[in-house]
Chain A
Amino acid sequence: MILINCPYCGEREQSEFTNGGEAHVIRPKDPDSLNDKDWGQYVFYRSNPKGIFYERWVHSHGCRKWFNAVRDTSTDTILKIYKLTDNKPDISEFQSSLKSPSGEPAVGSGNFAVKK
């Protein structure tokens, strides 16, 4: 279980929160002008990186407020938490712990056999 530092309530267990998937997905301004493929991209396709991931959380069993987080999905380390009104932090602020796209990080992986 990971701890999440709610910007309004402080650090709580992850089970108090609900994940809202990828952050900064913008609804197309003029959906009628999109073809099926582009609309499908908006509805069904989300980033799924191993490494740095921008995501939304809501403190369901707390203040019930939404906020954004940057998390390394290969280790579950939360790198930054920011409010919805804050700007999207630049990816260059964060360092990925991965040596290769599908590789395992030095710490945090449950897959010990492939760790180098």
Chain B
Amino acid sequence: MKKKYSILSLIKNAFSNNENWEKMWESPEPKKGYDVIIVGGGGHGLGTAYYLAKEHGIKNIAVIEKGWLGGGNTGRNTTIIRSNYLWNESAHLYDHSVKLWENLSEELNFNMMFSQRGVMNLAHNEHDIKEMKRRISANRLNGLDTQWVDTKQIKELVPIMNTENLRYPVLGAAFQPRGGVARHDAVAWGYALRSNEMGVDIIQNCEVKDIKTDNHKVQGVNTSKGFIRANKVAVVASGHTSVLAQTAGVRLPLQSRPLQALVSEPIKPVINTVVMSNAVHAYVSQSDKGELVIGAGTDGYNSFTQRGGYDVIEETVRAIVELYPIFGKMKMLRQWGGIVDICPDASPIISKCEVKGLYFNCGWGTGGFKATPGSANVFAHTVAKDEPHKINEAFNLERFSNGRLIDEHGAAAVAH
């Protein structure tokens, strides 16, 4: 039965203290086998299940998650959405995603709280200016709405920013008005809800221990709930993707590192756009609750600990305080880390591999959240048709031997 959310259901459930909301999705025991098993119940994985069921008519699917839905990087990021990437391949991929974000609340009948409040990338020196203007030109040729704003316009958009009296003065910015933020849980829950309605099994608290292959063909996965057979296995496990790939004998060019974020105590609205700075390494936006959402960088070494070093936070907070002296006395509420898988060229891998029936959607590094719907959409196509969608054709594994890298270290912004 299709669950509909409306103002009426909100009022109705308010009368019973919100205690009688129906469960959004079932938690079944795994079946013996599936057509497709998706490893990883984050936004990308659940979205893949949704588009496989909706657009490709494959409904015998299981999404297997070792923790809880959206508890990995989907719930650990700073929810920034933008598509101002330099190269054509990336611009098409990320803008495909932004376009899907724009209609996602309506499509899933679930509020994504997608707010296109604009994303600003600051320039602090001559090199930044040149690099950003080049990127703006490239973006405009790809039909993106990125534009150059000067210091005066920045001050109008973000009055609290200190643009002059600091070591690296703010000289201008690249601004994408269609960018913004969304609710991170909502995208996972929305996809889970609607894919479950179409018959997708969502299995939480079940760890995939290894991927079983035979003669270069995938057989299924060994999990903490036993062996589950599958014709196709799609791995979307972010930081742990390379660990799982290893169990199938596949080597991926990924390095896993902790990436941290933190939020402050809630305050009244002071900043109504997303501001990022590569040079001084700071990015900040304000959530609807009023907390400042601040992203720190990755640690300088491989780790799976989901914590991250304190010095990384210190560096970010130092830059934030210099850019926004008004935040100097604020207290931070929470800090957390997620394990991101970084590719040598800072672009993702959405590809099949040498093992038949095994697919990877990984390498999103520090910026996977923005791509959730687009990545899921083209990955579902790749899994269903056993060949890439036009949009993700270039994001293959072969690029690390034929040299057709998609170098997005500039546009991937901070943390790389």
Residues of A within 8 A of B (CB): 1-2, 13-15, 18-19, 21, 36-37, 39-41, 43-46, 48-50, 53, 55, 71, 73-76, 100-103, 108-111, 113-114
Contacts A19-B300, A48-B255 hold; do A36 and B67 have CB atoms under 8 A apart?
no
Which stretch in B91-99, B190-198, B243-251 binds the other chain? Answer: B243-251
Report whether B302 and A108 are in contact in the complex, using a CB–CB cutoff of 8 Å: no
Q: Mark B126-162, 1 if CB is under 8 A from A, else 0.
A: 0000000000000000000000000000000000000
Contacts of B344 in A (CB 8 A): 44
A45 touches B309 (CB 8 A): no
Asked if A102 and B309 sit within 8 Å, CB to CB, the answer is no
Flag the segment in B6-14, B205-213, B275-283 that touches A. B205-213
CB within 8 Å for A100 and B209 given contacts A73-B303, A73-B304: yes
* A3 vs chain B, min Cβ distance (A): 11
Q: Is there an interface contact between A40 and B300, defined as CB atoms closer than 8 Å?
A: no
**22 pairs of residues in contact across A and B, judged by CB atoms under 8 Å:** A40-B403, A43-B400, A44-B400, A45-B252, A45-B400, A48-B242, A48-B243, A48-B255, A50-B256, A50-B304, A73-B303, A76-B303, A101-B209, A101-B210, A101-B247, A103-B66, A103-B207, A110-B305, A110-B337, A111-B306, A113-B67, A114-B207
Cβ–Cβ < 8 Å partners of A43 in chain B? 400
Produce 1/0 per residue, B295-314, CB < 8 A to A.
00000111111110111000
Q: Which of B205, B209, B305 has the largest number of chain A CB atoms within 10 A?
A: B305
- Bound form: Cα–Cα A109–B71 in Å: 14
For the residues of B in contact with A, the DSSP-based class is: loop
Q: Across the interface, which residues of A come within 8 angstroms of B403, CB to CB?
A: 36, 40
Chain A residues near B256 (CB, 8 Å)? 48, 50, 73
Name B401's contact: one of A2, A36, A100, A103 (CB within 8 Å): A36
Name the residue of chain B whose CB is nearest to the CB of A112.
Answer: B306
CB–CB B244/A102 < 8 A: yes
A-B contacts counted at CB < 8 A amount to 103
Spell out B's residues near A (CB within 8 Å): 66-68, 71, 205, 207-210, 224, 237, 240, 242-244, 246-247, 251-256, 300-307, 309-311, 336-337, 341, 344, 400-403
Known: A45-B251, A50-B243, A101-B247. A40 touches B401 (CB 8 A): yes
Minimum CB–CB distance from B40 to chain A (whole Å) comes to 10
Q: Which residues of B contact A73 (CB under 8 A)?
A: 256, 302-305
The answer on a CB contact under 8 Å between A108 and B305 is yes
Is A111 a contact of B67 with CB atoms below 8 Å? Answer: yes
Q: Which 7 A-B pairs have the closest CB atoms?
A: A110-B306, A40-B401, A19-B301, A110-B307, A15-B311, A44-B253, A37-B401
